[in-house]
């Protein structure tokens, strides 16, 4: 699985987005250490806070199938600006993979690579827990 392929999977997952309120469609693809890939899209709701981001959809699918070791995540939104995970998703993912490689893609498939711990400086959790 190349970085390019993971981004392409995120782009494909974006097709399933349910985003009638924001019209901002997002797709994510999460590569697990065992080679499995779980994809996700954002799913909005008339009661706005009920919505879930693409990244957490993908992570919840993986975790609920017993896969909690994450290698890389690709995320793509609907604009030519790269899409970076929101704060909630950063914290959610940090729980399982502080060193996660995050491929933040633009709609044309170009992307920048970040490390999750750089995106969430001074994160709560992990070694700071009692």
Q: Given the complex with ligand THU, which of 15 and 34 has the nearer CB atom? A: 15
Query: What would the DSSP string read from start to end of 68-79?
Result: --EEEEEEE-SS
Q: Given the complex with ligand THU, which of 60 and 130 has the nearer CB atom? A: 60
Catalytic residues: 55
Distance in Å, CB of 60 to ligand THU, minimum: 13
Q: Which residues of this chain interact with ligand THU, rule CB under 6 A?
A: 19, 22, 24, 26, 42, 44, 51, 53-55, 75, 83, 85-86, 89
Q: Is the dihedral of CA 85, 87, 92, 98 positive or negative?
A: positive
Q: Tokens standing for 55?
A: 């990244």
Residues facing 72 on adjacent strands: 31, 101
Distance in Å, CB of 10 to ligand THU, minimum: 11
Q: Given the complex with ligand THU, which of 42 and 67 has the nearer CB atom? A: 42
Q: Is the dihedral of CA 109, 72, 115, 55 positive or negative?
A: positive
Backbone dihedral angles phi then psi of residue 105, each to the nearest 5 degrees:
-110, 155
Q: Given the complex with ligand THU, which of 22 and 64 has the nearer CB atom? A: 22
Asked whether 14 and 41 are in contact (CB, 8 A), the reply is yes
SS3 state of residue 37:
strand
Distance in Å, CB of 56 to ligand THU, minimum: 8
């Amino acid at each position: 699985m190349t970085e390019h392929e993971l981004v392409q999977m995120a782009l494909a997952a974006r097709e399933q987005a349910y985003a009638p309120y924001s019209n901002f469609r997002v797709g994510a693809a999460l590569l697990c250490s065992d080679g499995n890939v779980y994809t996700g899209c954002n799913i909005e709701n008339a009661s706005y806070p009920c919505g879930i981001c693409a990244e957490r959809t993908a992570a919840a699918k993986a975790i609920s199938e017993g896969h909690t070791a994450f290698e890389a995540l690709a995320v793509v939104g609907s604009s030519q600006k790269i899409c970076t995970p929101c704060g909630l998703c950063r914290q959610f993912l940090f729980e399982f993979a502080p060193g996660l490689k995050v491929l933040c893609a633009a709609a044309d498939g170009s992307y920048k690579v970040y490390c999750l711990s750089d995106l969430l400086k001074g994160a709560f959790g992990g070694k700071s827990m009692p």
